[in-house]
Amino acid sequence: MSLTPELVAKLEREGVSKAVIEQLNEKLASYGKISEDKMEKIVDRVIKSYKRALVEPGENVGVVAAQSVGEPGTQMTLRTFHFVGVKELNVTLGLPRLIEIFDARSKPTTPTMIIPIDKKYSKDRDKAFEIAIKLEELLVDDVVDSSTIDMVNDRIIFELNPNLLRNRGISLEELKEILESRIKSIEVKITGSLKKKDEPIYMEVSSKRELNIQQLNKLKERILKVRLKGIPKIRRTVIRKVELGNGDYEYVIATEGSNLKEVMKVEGIDRRRVYTNDIFEVYRLLGVEAAREVIIREAIRVLEDQGLDVNIRHVMLIADAMTRTGRIKQIGRHGIVGDKSSVLAKAAFELTTKHLYDAAARSAVDNLLGNAENIIAGQPIRSGTGHVKVYLDLLKLLGESEDGGST
Amino acid sequence: MNSKKKTREKLELPTLFDIPYKDIRYERARLIGIRAMQLLQGAEPLIKVPENLTDPIKIAALELEAGKLPFLVKRGSDTGKEYLAEIS
């Protein structure tokens, strides 16, 4: 069963939001035939519940949201790390992560991505591995066992790990080519072969220019940082099997490190569902709305992981407040930065005299819109009953008296 | 009478839906509060007060329930405009 157009119109007329109507429709679809009478009743109930759930004008939603997140926050364990099974990635959770989200740090301490694979081969574990290997960043550092500086001949000698090279499918020629193209001033000579087992492979690097020891050291560091394969910042990948319910499943790639822009370009992944926990990366690439969504998802996940039941609306409000201006603003101990334009509000917080002198010098005006200002001025604040503005209904008053009322 | 028409027009500003004043507890509280204050200062009740009822707050609540209070409430609508809403 689904809603008739008349019922949808009724719901809309009563102000029920589109999302709720959609959800109701979805829910109804899973039921069999429902009589018209019952349908009507269901819709009436939904309207009633919806209106009951509405927030009244004047309600201090911000304070309520702050308390609703703050109080459960006090119950969170301070344990930062947690491992799920073996080989799993380690992600910052709990209070540290929550603080990180609301503080709008530009980089999370543990950036991670969840990369679903294209529908075509989302059930193919081997394919998932193949893509994961492509993603994983491989630096020269990762294939080098040891490195020494040969001061006599002005060169650097690296001992390479043949197993790693073989596993990651990098030939010695490739290695030489990448290095020489990346750093122009060097010459690379590799001795040994990947075919022979257990025979060390040496790579000698010498510069075309004369270098002293410090410069050689610097060059060595530079070479170790050269990326041979993969996507920058993706340090490690793990294949995860995700149950989708009804016995359905898919493989996703979880990563340590995040690089949304580059990962989205990779073939074979489901570009639309790639997810990263780096809020600012999402903000830069996809915009504020997407960033807001990530803030909500991350905060709710942290709270839920700790077994705390916080209504998503509170988190949504906080995320809205953070992203309202079109940029991500942190919620620190000053509230949302830049939100306070009132002199009195600033004076009430810190450096009272300084703010007042400054304001006097600029002959600043305070419109007494915020709470702090009104309390200083000895007025009711503009929220709750203080938000209601009552006017005299002269028409009614006079009409009453004309009808022979006693006033 | 002319001015009465004007008030009606003001009321019909587009808004997603009107919440009855009864559903907004802050409005109720404020209206009852204001009226109770007036009663306390000697205003005549607008309704027939039941015997032995002397609490001005309760009288004010009864007046509000009866729709006798001559007040308007200023509300913001979702269109961003403000309008005066009748309370009965």
Q: What is the DSSP string of A223-277?
A: HHT-EEES-TT--EEEEEEEEEETTEEEEEEEEES--HHHHHHSTTB-GGG-EES
State the amino acid at position A144 in one-letter form: V
Query: Which candidate in B72, B77, B84 is best for mutational testing of the A interface (most A CBs within 10 A)?
Result: B72
- Both structure tokens of A393: 């209904």
Contacts of A344 (CB under 8 A, 6+ apart): A366, A368, A372, A373, A376, A377
Report which of A375, A291, A310 is spatially closest to residue A76, judged by C-alpha positions: A310
> At a CB cut-off of 8 Å and minimum separation 6, what does A167 contact?
none
- The answer to whether the CB of A374 falls within 8 A of the CB of A382 is yes
Q: Could you give the ipTM of this predicted complex?
A: 0.76
Are A56 and B34 in contact (CB < 8 Å)? no
For B76, nearest residue in chain A (alpha carbons): A57
A274 within 8 A of A284, measured Cβ to Cβ: no
Cα A404 to the center of its chain, rounded Å: 67
Contact yes or no for A294/A282 (Cβ under 8 A): yes
Cα A81 to chain centroid, rounded: 18
Three-state secondary structure call for residue A64: helix
* pLDDT per residue as tens digits for the range B25-79: 888 899 899 999 999 998 888 888 888 888 999 999 998 888 888 888 887 766 6
Contacts of A122 (CB under 8 A, 6+ apart): A116, A250, A251, A270
C-alpha angle B40-B44-B50 in degrees, rounded to nearest 5: 90
- CA distances A361 to A340, A345, A354, A368, Å, are 19, 17, 11, 19
> How many whole angstroms separate alpha carbon B23 and alpha carbon A58?
12
Q: Which residues contact A144 (CB under 8 A, 6 or more apart)?
A: A158, A159, A160, A161, A224
What chain A residue is nearest to B29 in terms of C-alpha separation? A385
* Interface membership of B3 toward A (CB under 8 Å): yes
Predicted pLDDT of residue A338: 60
d(CA A350, CA A167): 60
Q: Which chain A residues are Cβ-neighbours of B25 within 8 angstroms?
A: 56
The angle that helices A394-402 and B2-11 make with each other, rounded to 10 degrees, is 140
Which residue in chain B is spatially nearest to A382 when comparing CA positions?
B26
Exposed/middle/buried for A208, CB within 10 Å: 0-12, 13-18, 19+? exposed
Between helices A61-74 and A312-323, what is the axis angle to 10°? 110
- What pLDDT score does A339 carry? 60
pLDDT for res B4 = 47
Å from B80 to nearest chain A CA? Answer: 14
B37 contacts chain A (CB < 8 A) = no
Per the structure block, which two tokens stand in for A39? 């349908």
Look at A385 and B71 and tell me if their CB atoms are within 8 Å.
no
pTM: predicted TM-score of the whole model, two decimal places: 0.77
Contact between B74 and B82 (Cβ < 8 Å): yes
Distance CA A93, CA A307 (A): 12
d(CA A384, CA A367) in angstroms, rounded, equals: 19
Contact between chains at B24 and A57 (C-beta distance less than 8 A):
yes
Q: Which amino acid is at A257?
A: G
Whether B74 sits inside 8 A of A389 (CB atoms) is: yes
Distance, in Å, from the CA atom of A292 to the CA atom of A287, rounded to the nearest integer, reads: 9
Distance (Å) from the C-alpha of residue A22 to the closest C-alpha of chain B?
19
N- to C-terminal Cα distance for chain A? 58
Q: Which residues contact A118 (CB under 8 A, 6 or more apart)?
A: A268, A269, A270
- Specify the pairing of strand B82-86 against strand B71-76: antiparallel
What is the Cβ-side half-sphere exposure of residue A399, based on CA atoms within 13 angstroms? 12
Q: Does the distance separating the beta carbons of A400 and B30 come in below 8 Å?
A: no
Please tell me whether residue A82 adopts helix, strand or coil conformation: coil
Q: Residues in chain A with pLDDT < 50?
A: 80, 85-86, 403-407
Q: What is the predicted pLDDT for the residue at A82?
A: 52
Interchain pair B73, A54: CB under 8 A: no
What's the length of chain B?
88
With an 8 Å Cβ cutoff, are A393 and B17 in contact? no
Q: Which of B26, B75, B84, B86 to mutate to test the interface with A (most CBs of A within 10 A)?
A: B26
pLDDT at A13: 82
Residues of B in contact with A18 (CB under 8 A): none
d(CA A255, CA A257): 6
pLDDT at residue A87, as a whole number: 55
Q: CB-CB: which of A388, A392, A400 is closest to B27?
A: A388
In this complex, which of B4, B69, B87 lies closest to A395 when CB atoms are compared?
B4
Distance CA B69, CA B86 (A): 10
DSSP reduced 3-state for A141: helix
